[in-house]
């Protein structure tokens, strides 16, 4: 879980920066055929999945060895870079260990090395993204620039019918469609969306607010609306401040979380007005109603025992409420979970008064 939590902010950082050419901060001899270059920022690396850096030798990329190597010598390990060379390289932390194609000393051969931070190895896409980056200041609206960047990466997956730029901190979109069929998922579409963002000078967190209307997709109420407020820090961490999903004038799901920049999550509330669809989906996910209650019971037990970190602890009453609410024969329509800061932990309770219901 710690690894997954670390990947997202690093990935977002690379998305905002890439593609860009980076001159190594410094380079030096390592061991065997290996040399070291240091990069200027923290990014995803081989330990977290894959490196966003391409190593260019005199303008040409060093070969990427197979993701699923046929022999041990092709595995992405520091030992293989040092022992075999021949262009092998590996990214660990802020250091990239690399070897030349012919195992020659790069300094004596007069070769020049540069790094390309990129989230794609498609040459045409890289060229389009580089051209877009040059227009960032000219575009003025950072949201329009990010949307254009996202569309280049997504290709036909993301389509927007109309884009309006009413000001430097607002973006309005119409007829948005996300086609996820290639991943075996149903499409998601919205009639319109408005995005606002605000900078907070001298504070760790800034904010982005989304307001979507006519949102449709699997598991969502027909013609739903959604409002969301996200906070983000200078190191690209994200927090959810508010989320509300509904249809007509009714909120179907509502969530707000209270944060402190120094101490993290302080409390909040998560409320669902109609948990029947969630109960049905849970039954399918558990393999049928016979397993449903056993699954939710073991889930709550794992949270209480600490085997599954959920960021909050459950008392007896909350545990019983959750089990009864999500059991196949449950009749509860609405459910409210309240999070409160209690010492060094977050306590989760189901308040009897003011429970969220139609």
Positions of E strands within 47-157: 53-57, 60-61, 89-92, 95-98, 113-117
- Closest of 87, 1, 7 to residue 46, by C-alpha: 7
Instruction: Report the distance separating Cα 115 and Cα 106, nearest Å.
Output: 15
Q: What is the pLDDT of residue 97?
A: 94
Other Cβ atoms less than 10 A from the Cβ of 184: the count is 6
Strand, helix or coil for residue 53: strand
Query: Residue 18: what pLDDT?
Result: 92
Q: Residue 119, Cβ neighbours under 10 Å: how many?
A: 17
Whole-angstrom Cα distance, residue 55 to residue 117? 9
Report the distance separating Cα 251 and Cα 226, nearest Å.
9
State the Cα torsion 178-183-185-186 to the nearest 10°: 40
Tokens of 309: 């970190």
Q: What is the pLDDT along the chain (358 residues), one digit of tens a residue?
A: 445 557 888 999 999 999 999 887 667 889 999 999 888 888 988 888 788 999 998 888 988 777 677 888 888 889 999 999 999 999 999 999 999 988 988 878 788 888 999 999 899 999 999 999 999 989 989 999 999 999 999 999 999 999 999 999 999 999 999 999 888 888 999 999 999 999 777 777 889 999 999 999 877 888 899 999 999 888 888 889 999 999 888 888 999 999 887 777 888 999 998 888 888 888 888 888 889 989 999 999 988 887 877 777 888 889 999 998 999 888 888 899 999 987 777 888 888 654 554 4
Q: How far is Cα 93 from Cα 316, in angstroms, rounded to an integer?
A: 44
How far, in Å, CA of 264 to CA of 17, rounded? Answer: 27
Tokens standing for 205? 């967190």
Cα–Cα distance, 279 to 276 (Å, whole number): 5
**56-72, pLDDT tens digit by residue?**
988 889 887 776 778 88
The residue behind tokens 């609405």 is 334
End-to-end CA distance of the chain: 36
Quote the distance between the C-alpha of residue 19 and its chain's center: 18
Q: Are 216 and 229 in contact (CB under 8 A)?
A: no
Q: Please, is 200 exposed, middle or buried when counting C-beta atoms within 10 Å of its C-beta (0-12, 13-18, 19+)? A: exposed
Indicate the angle between helix axes 316-326 and 289-305, nearest 10 degrees.
Answer: 160
According to the model, what pLDDT value does residue 128 have?
96
The helix (H) or strand (E) run that includes residue 338 is strand 335-342
Instruction: Note the maximum CA span of the chain.
Output: 77
| pLDDT score of 357 | 46
Tell me how far apart the alpha carbons of residues 340 and 323 are, in angstroms, rounded to a whole number: 21
**0.85 surpassed by pTM:** no
DSSP letter at 80 equals: H
Q: What confidence tens digit (pLDDT) does each residue in 119-157 have?
A: 998 999 999 999 999 999 899 899 999 999 999 999 999
Confidence at residue 19, expressed as pLDDT on a 0 to 100 scale? 95
pLDDT value of residue 355 = 52
Crossing angle, helix 123-134 and helix 142-154, to 10 degrees?
A: 170
Report the pLDDT value the prediction gives residue 356, as an integer from 0 to 100. 53
Alpha-carbon distances of 227 from 49, 144, 159, 243, rounded to whole Å: 33, 20, 21, 6
147-163 core/surface letters (b: 16 or more CB in 10 A; e: else): bbbebbbeeebeeeeeb
Number of helices followed by number of strands (H, E) in the chain: 9, 19
């Amino acid at each position: 879980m710690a690894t997954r939590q670390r990947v997202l902010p690093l990935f977002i950082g690379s998305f905002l920066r890439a593609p860009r050419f980076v001159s190594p901060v410094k380079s030096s001899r390592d061991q065997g055929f290996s040399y070291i270059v240091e990069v200027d920022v923290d990014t995803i690396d081989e330990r977290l999945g894959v490196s966003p850096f391409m190593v260019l030798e005199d303008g040409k990329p060093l070969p990427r060895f197979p993701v699923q190597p046929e022999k041990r010598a092709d595995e992405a390990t520091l030992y293989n870079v040092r022992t075999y060379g021949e262009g092998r390289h590996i990214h660990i932390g802020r250091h990239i260990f690399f070897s030349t194609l012919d195992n020659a000393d790069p300094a004596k051969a007069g070769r020049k090395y540069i790094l390309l931070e990129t989230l794609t190895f498609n040459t045409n896409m890289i060229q389009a993204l580089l051209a877009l980056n040059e227009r960032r200041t000219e575009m003025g609206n950072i949201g329009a620039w990010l949307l254009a960047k996202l569309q280049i990466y997504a290709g036909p997956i993301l389509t927007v019918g109309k884009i309006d730029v009413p000001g430097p901190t607002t973006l309005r979109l119409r007829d948005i469609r996300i086609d996820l069929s290639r991943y075996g998922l149903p499409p998601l579409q919205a009639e319109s969306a408005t995005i606002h963002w605000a900078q907070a000078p001298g504070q760790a967190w800034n904010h982005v607010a989304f307001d979507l209307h006519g949102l449709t997709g699997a598991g969502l109420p027909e013609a739903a609306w959604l409002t969301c407020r996200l906070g983000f820090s200078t190191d690209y961490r994200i927090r959810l401040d508010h989320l509300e999903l509904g249809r007509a004038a009714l909120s179907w799901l509502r969530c707000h979380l209270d944060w402190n920049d120094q101490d993290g999550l302080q409390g909040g509330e998560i409320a669902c007005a109609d948990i029947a669809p969630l109960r049905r989906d849970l039954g399918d996910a558990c393999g049928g109603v016979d397993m449903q209650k056993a699954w939710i019971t073991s889930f709550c037990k794992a949270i209480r025992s600490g085997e599954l970190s959920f960021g909050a602890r459950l008392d007896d009453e909350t545990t019983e409420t959750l089990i009864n609410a999500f059991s196949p024969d449950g009749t509860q329509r609405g459910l409210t979970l309240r999070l409160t800061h209690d010492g060094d932990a977050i306590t989760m309770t189901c308040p009897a008064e003011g429970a969220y219901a139609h």
